[in-house]
Amino acid sequence: MDMMETFRQTYLEESFEGLDLMETGLLELPPGTPDNEKINEIFRAAHSIKGGSGTFGFIEIAGFTHVLETLLDEMRDNRRDVTQPSIDAMLAAVDILRDMLTKLKDHEPIDEVRASEVQAVLEEILGMESGTEVSSVETAVVDEVATDGEWKIGLVPDKGLLQTGNEPMRIFRELETLGDLKVKADWSALPEASTFQPEDLFIKWELTLSGEGVNEDDIKEVFEWIDGDGAEITISAPSKVVADTVETLDEPIVEAVPAATTKPEVVKPEAKKVEAKAQQKPEGSIRVDLSKIDQMVNLVGELVITQSMLSQFGEQADQSQGVVSDDWVDKLKEGLTHLERHTRELQESVMNIRMLPVSFAFNRMPRIVHDVSQKLGKQIDLVMEGEGTELDKTMLEQLTDPLVHIVRNSIDHGIETPAVRTAAGKPEIGTVKMAAFHEGGNILIQITDDGAGIDAARIEKKAIEKGVIEEDHGLSEQEVVDLIFHAGFSTAEVVSDISGRGVGMDVVRRNIRGLGGSVDVKTTLGKGSVFTIRLPLTLAILDGQLCKVGSETYVFPLVSIIESIQVDKSLVKGIAGQAELYKLRDSYIPVIRLHKKLGIYDACSDLADGLLVVVEDGGKRAGLFVDDLLGQQQVVIKSLETNFMKVDGIAGATILGDGTVSLILDVKEAVKSHKSGLTAVHSNVA
């Protein structure tokens, strides 16, 4: 069962990849005469999903995909043109298949009602478009299509069938999607037990298939997996064929039998087995380039050599009875240096395995742009750059939803309608650009549109009406624009299913901050907006700066530190009842005494005795006062919330080299707590 579950998950993962390929192909498919290369690519993906579904008893998948496959088959045979309604219907079918596979992956029931609705649309397209072709295919169809009758099928497989990875049960399950199947096994060729080879197959089968609309092409298609591999397959048509009149061909020539007509008894036994496993969901998996695995194997080999060398030193130490030479000590230090280098390289190699290109998140956007622009009557050109930029898999999975929110809002609120753009002297087609690139120790993702931009005056008016800010707020224009990230804030005049309820951009900022990142927006009225998402490379490891606060050791994320300075008390200003400020060159920054925030009572209280660590978040700087700075090192982040509870101001914990636990400071939270009123304070001091 464990092995079968592994195969099952592999099939599901490959099917999801196939659906992505189908979706991309359909979005690039132009209406008109079929692009055979593109149609074949889409057809192969659909055929693979259908073919593998029978192996695991996913009869609903097989039945639904059969209709989609029939439509694609007629297109690739140039029996019908590609139309926009058929593209839209096939895109809807991809959505249904993705939902079906997701439900099967999570061992949840499939939404058969929605699947039936989309299947009916596909069958209607088949019927409508094939009606004009009846006269040209009338003669050929008379010999192929059967009504209520029994097809007799003989199967004598090659005895090495099982060794090629094929399984007769998969073939039988596929046939069950076409109609009622009766199976009779012939065991007469089984050899004596003494000569029996368990890897060989000696069974023959006689099959009887009955159902409406079954034709020989459908049956042959099922057996194409083993046809030509030495198997003997005989197919005998029912004696009763379709009447040779045109009137009988008003319905689609090839029909898929809906999944609901399949006998439920076939599915029940396996469904029970799967249900027993449903309590433990799989952790998921990731595909890794072989070169990355080879690199890890080489590094492990180096570690083994180093470990062997260090073991010899241990044996020599035992024999020396405490007396060791300087040469021995030098060699030991050299061995430890090798160990440190190899461990660091192995760590980087392991982390590299978790890195995936951002194209995994970007590839969803063409479909989003297609659907939203059609619904809004806008023309959008989506440009993507830097899709090969790599990001941690966990972060990538959580990044998709924020990206969808931003892209949908750019199309809905940003890009104007063709008429408005033409009047403004812009091209009718608007542009949304997505780009990913490295900057320092971070990944930056920018979503740019050439739309109308964000109207700060309109946002200010709405914010005052809703009580978000006061009329004498004193906020800068950029701070007013940032109100779009305020919970529940929206300037949409009409509430729609695309945007307008104010439940989007605040979620975007919260989710990205949860990934240790930040998001900001720059806009120019009439020209467009740029949303910039800044993320760390990984959530698992960070470069840290150790600091001392009293008797405790804390870790700063090194990427957030601008500089550290010795405090000059003459540059410290106090604002009555508000905060301490430090004049750093031409500006004032707030001083945050960490020992007060953290409740540490044995720390330095005199600013002259400690250091000020200048950090930055979202363009705002602050000075965090600590007793002293220690060394820098990479630390492995452990979630405090998962292992204990959420603590304000603490981003996580790590274990230092001496075995002690150190808390990692949440710089964003520290700066955020001192943001309010900074503009007013600055103006008062200046």
Q: Which helix (H) or strand (E) holds 156?
A: strand 150-156
Cβ neighbours of 281 (radius 10 Å):
10
- Token pair belonging to 233: 């397959």
Q: Which residues of the chain have pLDDT under 70?
A: 1-3, 55, 128-148, 163-165, 225, 227-229, 239-285, 314, 316-325, 440-441, 488-504, 538-540, 575-578, 617-619, 673-686
Residue 59 and residue 62: Cα distance in Å, rounded? 5
pLDDT given for residue 321 in this prediction: 60
Q: Phi/psi at 482 (nearest 5 deg)? A: -65, -10
- Token pair belonging to 629: 């700075």
User: 67 Cβ partners below 8 Å, 6+ apart?
Assistant: 93, 119, 122, 123, 126, 255, 256
- Token pair belonging to 121: 């649309």
The CATH label, of 2.40.50.180, 2.40.30.10, 3.40.50.920, 2.10.10.90, for the domain at 541-685 is 2.40.50.180
Cβ neighbours of 336 (radius 10 Å):
13
What superfamily in CATH does domain 2-137+271-277 come from? HPT domain (1.20.120.160)
Residue 78 and residue 73: Cα distance in Å, rounded? 9
How is the beta sheet containing 232-236 ordered, strand by strand?
180-186, 204-210, 150-156, 232-236
pLDDT given for residue 441 in this prediction: 65
Q: Which helix (H) or strand (E) holds 36?
A: helix 36-53
Question: For 298-319, what is each residue's pLDDT tens digit?
Answer: 888 888 888 887 877 767 666 6
- Token pair belonging to 217: 């092409």
Helical packing angle, 365-376 and 2-28, nearest 10°: 50
Q: Which CATH architecture has domain 357-536?
A: 2-Layer Sandwich (3.30)
Catalytic residues: 47, 69, 409
pLDDT given for residue 319 in this prediction: 63
Q: What is the CATH number of domain 150-241?
A: 3.30.70.260
Which residue in 378, 374, 457 sits closest to 415, CA to CA? Answer: 378
Which residue in 437, 454, 434 sits closest to 446, CA to CA? Answer: 434
The answer to whether residues 498 and 412 touch, using CB atoms and an 8 Å cutoff, is: yes
| Burial state string for 520-532 with b = 16 or more CB within 10 A and e = fewer than 16 | bbebeeeebbbbb
pLDDT given for residue 618 in this prediction: 60
Residue 186 and residue 193: Cα distance in Å, rounded? 17
Q: Please classify residue 643 by burial: count the beta carbons closer than 10 Å to its beta carbon, then call 0-12 exposed, 13-18 middle and 19+ buried.
A: exposed
Q: Please classify residue 340 by burial: count the beta carbons closer than 10 Å to its beta carbon, then call 0-12 exposed, 13-18 middle and 19+ buried.
A: exposed
Q: Phi/psi at 228 (nearest 5 deg)? A: 90, -5
pLDDT given for residue 278 in this prediction: 38
For residue 162, the 8-state DSSP code is G
Residue 114 and residue 386: Cα distance in Å, rounded? 37
Residue 460 and residue 51: Cα distance in Å, rounded? 58
611-617/620-626 β-pairing: antiparallel
- Token pair belonging to 586: 């031409």
By residue count, the chain amounts to: 686
Q: Phi/psi at 675 (nearest 5 deg)? A: -75, -40
- Token pair belonging to 288: 């890794």
The answer to whether residues 346 and 296 touch, using CB atoms and an 8 Å cutoff, is: yes
The answer to whether residues 435 and 385 touch, using CB atoms and an 8 Å cutoff, is: yes
Residue 466 and residue 492: Cα distance in Å, rounded? 13
Residue 463 and residue 162: Cα distance in Å, rounded? 69
Mean pLDDT over all residues of the chain?
77
Helical packing angle, 59-76 and 112-130, nearest 10°: 20
In the chain, the N- to C-terminal Cα span, in Å, equals 73
Residue 295 and residue 350: Cα distance in Å, rounded? 10
The answer to whether residues 621 and 614 touch, using CB atoms and an 8 Å cutoff, is: yes
Give 11's strand partners.
Answer: none
Angle 79-82-87 from CA coordinates, rounded to 5°? 130
Q: Please classify residue 350 by burial: count the beta carbons closer than 10 Å to its beta carbon, then call 0-12 exposed, 13-18 middle and 19+ buried.
A: middle
> Is residue 235 classed as helix, strand or coil in its secondary structure?
strand
- Token pair belonging to 1: 């069962």
Residue 77 and residue 514: Cα distance in Å, rounded? 51
Helical H segments across 415-481, by residue range = 418-423, 456-465, 477-481
Residue with tokens 């192969």: 44
